[in-house]
Amino acid sequence: MQAIAFKRLLRSVALAGSCLLLGQAAGAHSRLHHGSRHGTSRIYAAAGHQAHVIQCVAFARSDTDIALAGNAANWWQNAEGVYARGSAPEPGSVLNFRANQRMRLGHVAVVTGVVDSRTIQIDQSHWNANGISRDVTVVDVSEDNDWTAVRVEIGRKGSFGAIYPTYGFIYARPDTGRIITARSDVIVPRTGNAAPADLRGGTEVAEAPTVQRGIDLSVSSLSDDAPDRGLR
């Protein structure tokens, strides 16, 4: 009888230990999915990657409904026939940067808000080897206000880096076969068509296009704000 009672005690202890482990696992799973906007940061941390920066493409895929393969520089082409594309910023769309000397595989960032026709807010990861950064201001400095040349806010608020060429925006809806230039159902405050004079000039880093309506993008010197990376 004592042996039977002892066996029952062992089973009770084992069951209690299993329940504890299951509870811990469930709690970890919950934290993964609720610790950030889409759980991205905590997923990487829980997987033992605390020291690694989340790549911009992985972040964009996890933070939007856009699922494209390949490096960021290939997203614009890869989106053809799959996702709509255009030059009109929308929350939830992905701003696709072209490749240049310092970020040879391009860059993607998630649009979180539209301030006016030349100003948006983005969330992004791995800009200048940093982790996730949110509510970053991006200003369009293209001649035609078509978001093909932008400056990204760096460091303190109101300070902007070099000019970067972009393809435009990729939207989380099916491709209709045309490039979207505006949305009639969205009112965007207009700031005028002229590029912001206070953001022109300075160090340029991009290789292509070399000249865009008076904006010289061919200077080879690199700005400190440029994402210094060759791999995603």
Residue 94 within a domain:
yes
- Judged against a pLDDT cut of 50, whether residue 231 lies above it is answered with no
Same domain flag for 91 and 186? yes
Residue 125 within a domain:
yes
CB < 8 Å & 24+ apart, contacts of 105-108: 105/71, 105/72, 105/73, 105/229, 105/230, 105/231, 105/232, 106/71, 106/72, 106/73, 106/74, 106/75, 107/56, 107/72, 107/164, 107/227, 108/56, 108/57, 108/60, 108/72, 108/75
Amino acid at position 2, single letter: Q
Q: What is the reported pLDDT for 155?
A: 75
Residue 172 within a domain:
yes
Residue 13 within a domain:
yes
Q: Under a CB-based contact definition with an 8 Å cutoff, are residues 111 and 169 in contact?
A: yes
Same domain flag for 160 and 92? yes
Per the prediction, the chain carries an average pLDDT of: 73
Residue 226 within a domain:
no
The answer to pTM > 0.75 is no
* Percent of the chain topping pLDDT 70: 57
Residue 174 within a domain:
yes
Q: What is the reported pLDDT for 111?
A: 98
pLDDT tens figures, 18-33: 433 333 433 333 333 3
- Judged against a pLDDT cut of 80, whether residue 86 lies above it is answered with yes
Q: What is the reported pLDDT for 38?
A: 40
The domain of 21 spans 2-34
Greater model confidence, 102 or 195 = 102
Q: What is the reported pLDDT for 177?
A: 94
Residue 130 within a domain:
yes
Q: Under a CB-based contact definition with an 8 Å cutoff, are residues 83 and 70 in contact?
A: no
* C-alpha distances in Å from residue 33, one per residue of 58, 65, 152: 16, 16, 29
pLDDT tens figures, 126-141: 887 678 999 999 999 9
Same domain flag for 188 and 77? yes
Overall number of domains in the chain: 2
- Judged against a pLDDT cut of 70, whether residue 67 lies above it is answered with yes
- Judged against a pLDDT cut of 50, whether residue 203 lies above it is answered with no
DSSP reduced 3-state for 13? helix
pLDDT tier for residue 204 given thresholds of 50, 70 and 90 = very low
Alpha carbon distance 179, 111 (integer Å): 18
What number of residues does the chain have?
Answer: 232
pLDDT tens figures, 95-153: 999 998 888 999 999 999 999 999 999 999 988 767 899 999 999 999 999 999 999 99
pLDDT tens figures, 210-223: 445 555 554 334 45
Q: What is the reported pLDDT for 53?
A: 72
Same domain flag for 100 and 17? no
Average pLDDT rounded to a whole number, residues 175-204: 69
Greater model confidence, 227 or 53 = 53
Residue 190 within a domain:
yes
